[in-house]
């Protein structure tokens, strides 16, 4: 074999060595495999590179000069590949899982959230465990009640109106014919924010707001919170809800009022409900009545649900309606009371404690 042939052969084998060594180091999936590859390719005694080096040394000077640079290049490349493989395996071990190069690929067909899950450590994610169930909430019983009241009165032709919870004295008192000396205006019985504004104590305020911006006929309900500084007990709370109704047109009478309230009561509480009016007084109605309901057919207790009456002429004057031309009825009922009756709830405070054991029953 000529000298040139020997050099060519050595260079070819050097390349073969390089390719095989790089591949082995890259593939090594654990420390033992890597060590075996190291011994085979870079071993000091009988490693492949050692053998190539011996042949290199046997070359005459000219051949050494030709092959030298390539030898150096291959040596550093292969050593570098070994170091890299070593670092990779150490890192994988520190993370307590299988190394990247050995990543199992069990997830080909499994998709999660639209993307294939290709986490290196297959055992970290058990796809067979059932997902966490998202628990559905329920509407608050008062929300149910309010929605139902809106539906029932909607069928009776009443529109839903709204007004602010922070009110002025005009809408909460004066326009409703409640004079300054009236006990209902006592600052101790109201939540005044400043001398002229308070948290509304009744939804009758919305009657005024609607009539101020609209001509008859008016047929509205308003449902919302009202505030009174009551001591809390099973039937009193300093914030509660009222449903207000107002119907103004020509020739409206007390008979219409009673019919509407009876129809409402029977729709909400059942056909056995009876309704009764007791004479009463409210500054904004004349005549005025208390509305009681009973659905114990054998003549059990009557429960007071609120007040009602024919709109007082002074209220019409306050909003610019002619009391000679129009008449109307109005009513105001407690929403909590209706809801409590319907569901057999005995303590108003349950509505506001946010106890899920109570709330999730509805
Ligand atoms: N606003 C009254 C209250 O809070 C309830 C009421 C009585 C409303 C008679 C009315 C009504 O509209 O006509 O006690």
Q: How far apart (Å, rounded) are the C-alpha atoms in residues 349 and 145?
A: 16
Token output for 225: 């919170």
Which protein residue has the closest C-alpha to ligand 1 atom 5?
Answer: 332
Please report, in tens digits, the pLDDT of each residue of the chain (362 residues total).
Answer: 677 888 999 999 999 999 999 999 999 999 999 999 999 999 988 899 999 999 999 999 999 998 999 999 999 999 999 999 999 998 888 776 554 444 444 444 444 444 444 545 556 788 888 888 888 889 999 999 999 999 999 999 999 999 999 999 999 999 999 999 999 999 999 999 999 999 999 999 999 999 999 999 999 999 999 999 999 999 999 999 999 999 999 999 999 999 999 999 999 988 989 899 999 999 999 999 999 998 765 567 888 999 999 999 999 999 999 999 999 999 999 999 999 989 999 999 999 999 999 999 98
The alpha carbon of 266 and the centre of ligand 1 are apart by a number of angstroms equal to 21
**Nearest alpha-carbon partner for 304 in 289, 323, 319:** 289
Domain 141-359 CATH (choose: 3.90.1720.10, 3.40.190.10, 3.40.50.300, 3.30.930.10): 3.30.930.10
The alpha carbon of 203 and the centre of ligand 1 are apart by a number of angstroms equal to 8
Q: Is 256 helix (H, G, I), strand (E, B) or coil?
A: helix
Q: Quick check: CB of 308 below 6 Å from ligand 1?
A: yes
Please tell me what DSSP assigns to residue 162.
-
CB neighbours of residue 279 within 10 Å:
9
Which protein residue has the closest C-alpha to ligand 1 atom 8?
Answer: 332
Q: What is the pTM of this model?
A: 0.65
Residue 51 parent element (H or E) = helix 48-57
Q: Is 208 helix (H, G, I), strand (E, B) or coil?
A: helix
Instruction: Report the residue among 189, 204, 243, 291 best suited for mutation to probe ligand 1: largest number of ligand atoms under 8 A from its CB.
Output: 204
- CATH 3.30.930.10: which residues of the chain? 141-359
């Amino acid at each position: 074999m000529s000298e040139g042939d020997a050099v060519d052969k050595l260079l070819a084998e050097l390349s073969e060595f390089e390719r095989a060594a790089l591949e082995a180091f890259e593939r090594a999936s654990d420390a033992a495999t890597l060590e075996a590859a190291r011994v085979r390719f870079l071993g000091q005694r009988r490693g492949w590179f050692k053998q190539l080096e011996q042949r290199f040394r046997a070359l005459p000077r000219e051949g050494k000069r030709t092959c030298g640079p390539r030898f150096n290049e291959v040596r550093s490349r292969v050593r570098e590949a070994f170091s890299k493989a070593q670092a990779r395996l150490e890192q994988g071990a520190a993370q307590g899982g299988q190394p990247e190069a050995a990543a199992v690929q069990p997830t080909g067909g499994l998709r999660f959230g639209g993307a294939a899950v290709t986490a290196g450590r297959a055992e970290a994610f058990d796809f067979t465990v059932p997902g966490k169930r998202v628990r559905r909430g329920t509407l608050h019983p008062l929300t149910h009640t309010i929605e139902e009241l809106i539906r029932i009165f909607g069928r009776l032709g009443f529109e839903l109106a709204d007004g602010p919870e922070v009110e002025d004295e005009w809408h909460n008192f004066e326009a409703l014919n409640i004079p300054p000396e009236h006990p209902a205006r006592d600052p101790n019985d109201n939540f005044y924010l400043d001398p002229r504004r308070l948290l509304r104590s009744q939804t009758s305020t919305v009657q005024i707001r609607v009539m101020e911006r609209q001509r008859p006929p008016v047929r509205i309900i308003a449902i919302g919170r009202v505030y009174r500084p009551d001591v809390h007990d099973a039937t009193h709370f300093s914030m509660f809800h009222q449903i207000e109704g107002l119907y103004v047109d020509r020739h409206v009478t007390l008979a219409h009022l009673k019919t509407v309230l009876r129809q409402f009561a029977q729709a909400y509480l059942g056909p056995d409900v009876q309704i009764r009016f007791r004479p009463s007084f409210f500054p904004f109605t004349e005549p005025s009545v208390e509305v009681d309901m009973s659905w114990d057919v054998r003549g059990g207790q009557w429960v007071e649900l609120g007040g009602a009456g024919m709109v007082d002429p002074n209220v019409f004057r306050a909003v610019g309606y002619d009391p000679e031309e129009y008449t109307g009825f109005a009513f105001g009922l407690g929403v909590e009371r209706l809801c409590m009756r319907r569901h057999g709830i005995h303590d108003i405070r349950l509505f506001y404690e946010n106890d899920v054991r109570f709330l999730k029953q509805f």
